[in-house]
Structure 1
Amino acid sequence: MSVAFVLIRVLPGKEHEIYDKVSKLKYVTEVHPLLGEYDLILKMDTDEMTEIGKLVIQDIRSINGVVETKTLAEIKL
């Protein structure tokens, strides 16, 4: 199991819409609204690390109103 946190910046006024859309993605386990530089943070669980980038690009960045993402992947120590 691979875990990543994705910070998302959205267009003003799109916060609720984007929140609803990313909440429905099957690999997203948590979504939290934020104040500050980013508008949302989500936690995603995938079977493999290689899936993270693909899912962020295809499923999150492609949502109309998403301006920017920053992905932080968990590592094993």
Structure 2
Amino acid sequence: MVKAYILIKAAVGQEDAVLKDMLALSVTEEAHKVFGPYDIVAEVRGRDMETLVEIITEKVRKIKGIEDTQSILVIDSEIDMTATSLGT
């Protein structure tokens, strides 16, 4: 499984619609509206690199209201389980 984060610049006023369309994609694990140079950060997963490229070029970039994307490919992950327990 290959994972990437996609930074999305939406057209003014289209942020909610783009977020909804991103979450409707079966490959989207999470998507969040954010402040900064991009409006949405989405985590997507694909079977392999070829599938991920196809998802980004054929599905994500064709969503109405998306002006620009930046894809960040995850090459390795570690999760600190102590950081996920807030308040302990």
Q: Which runs of 4+ in 1 moved over 3 A?
A: none
Instruction: Tell me the amino acid that sits aligned with residue 59 of structure 2.
Output: D
- Identity %, equivalent residues: 23
Instruction: Tell me the amino acid that sits aligned with residue 49 of structure 1.
Output: M
Instruction: Tell me the amino acid that sits aligned with residue 65 of structure 2.
Output: G
The TM-score with structure 2 as length reference comes to 0.83
Q: Kindly tell me the number of residue pairs found equivalent between the two proteins.
A: 77
The TM-score with structure 1 as length reference comes to 0.94
Structure 1 stretch displaced more, 54-63 or 6-15: 54-63
User: Who wins on radius of gyration, i.e. which is larger?
Assistant: 2
Partner of 1:14 in structure 2? 14
Structure 1: any 5+ residue segments left out of the alignment?
none
Partner of 1:24 in structure 2? 24
Q: Greater strand percent: which structure?
A: 1
Higher relative contact order (CA closer than 8 Å, sequence separation 6+): 1
